[in-house]
Structure 1
Amino acid sequence: MGERPGGPDDVVAQLFDGAYRRLVVQLHGVCGDLTEAEEVVQEAFVRAVARGRRFAELENPEAWLRTVAVNQARSRHRRRRRGEVLHLVRERQADRPGDRSGASDAHVTLVAALRQLPAAQREAIALHHLADLPVTEVARTLGVPVGTVKARLSRGRTALAALIGDEAPVDAARATPTVRATRREDA
């Protein structure tokens, strides 16, 4: 009882092949944990399969997947905050040396710094800089006004600069440290 070629399952499979890795990298910045990022993206794909033809007919299915994954990450975060024991286990795991993602040292440093930001700022920065989404798409994904996203980005970049150090600010789009030739204010 499989789908015909070109059916909803094919759309999901093609999108999985083309977007899974990109979505995991984007959500890694939001979650601060690679395993959790993989899990929320997988959950988004499971929900896409469940939607069937309705998913295949979406105008921007990758944006839908990203929104579902961000919402899933938020839900998990809220549940984790309620359970102190789970939170302590997560902290111990995050403090262990070694990152199995294969990410560069700069990316690991960036994600560690992002983890220290408030969730709203972390989400905005990860989606705008790591996922390279325009501010309007970040606002739509998070369900907040554009001005709110701009404020979160500004505050988050300021906090990141303090966490990482002003001498080597992070170019989040490439997740590598860069040296600023002249000091300027990022808006």
Structure 2
Amino acid sequence: MAVAPDRRAEFSAFYETTWSRTVACAYAVTGELGAAEDIAQEAYTRAWPRWTALTAYDDPAAWVRQAATRLAISRWRRSRVARAFLSRSREPEPDRGPDPDAVALTRALARLPVEQRRAIVLHHLGDLPVREVARIEGCPEGTIKARLSRGRSALAGLLDEGSTRTTDGLEGSRA
């Protein structure tokens, strides 16, 4: 069955304009960029067969973000069960580990209050305007601005604190 070129182009344009926001929503749930990208891709894969119906919605991107959020929660539940099974079955294999900067940022984000973390992730990583973040969060724009300001200040302090600890630890090991 052939797909109309304009339908394909319309979906491609939709994908391009909404991708970063969908990844940001999934990242806000998972805290892992790679997993968030996989989840977002799956959400778009599910949206494509429904595209004709989705175009009738007021906000088709909201459907995709909701699908991504549900997929993220489902993945989290499956991974929790899998980890429990693996911990009973065998010792986990060591891996190379993630980038230290990504670890520091992820840890610092995890220490922020949930509202501030979501605002920062949606605005800075998802590249959403404050107005859109306020709509998603269901609160006034001023509240989002305050969360962003407080969150950035706290994040800067947490990242400085982490780099000081690392530097102190390195200096102490050389002595």
Q: TM-score, normalised by structure 2?
A: 0.60
Deviation at 1:119, TM superposition (A): 3.6
1:114 pairs, out of 109, 112, 133, with 109
- Structure 2: gaps of 5 or more residues: 164-175
Letter matched to residue 153 of structure 1: L
Question: Against the structure 1 CA distance between its residues 47 and 71, is the aligned structure 2 distance closer, same or farther, given a 3 Å change threshold?
Answer: same
RMSD of aligned residue pairs (Cα, Å): 4.1
Describe the SS at the equivalent of 2:123. Answer: helix
Which has the larger helix fraction?
2
- Number of aligned residue pairs: 155
Q: TM-score, normalised by structure 1?
A: 0.57
Question: Against the structure 1 CA distance between its residues 51 and 28, is the aligned structure 2 distance closer, same or farther, given a 3 Å change threshold?
Answer: closer
Q: Please tell me whether Structure 1 or Structure 2 has the larger radius of gyration of its CA atoms.
A: 2
Question: Against the structure 1 CA distance between its residues 28 and 58, is the aligned structure 2 distance closer, same or farther, given a 3 Å change threshold?
Answer: closer
1:134-164 CA-partner distances (Å, limit 9, x unpaired): 222012223x212553453344223312311
Partner of residue 22, structure 1? 20
Aligned partners of 1:37 and 1:19: how far apart in 2?
Answer: 17
Identity across aligned pairs (percent)? Answer: 40
Question: 1:33-182 alignment to 2 at 5 Å?
Answer: 33-57=32-56, 61-62=60-61, 65-66=64-65, 68-70=67-69, 72-73=71-72, 75-76=73-74, 79=77, 85=83, 97-99=97-99, 109-142=104-137, 144-146=138-140, 147-165=142-160
Aligned partners of 1:151 and 1:136: how far apart in 2?
Answer: 13
Contact 2:19 2:40 in 1 (8 A): no
- Structure 1: gaps of 5 or more residues: 100-104, 169-187
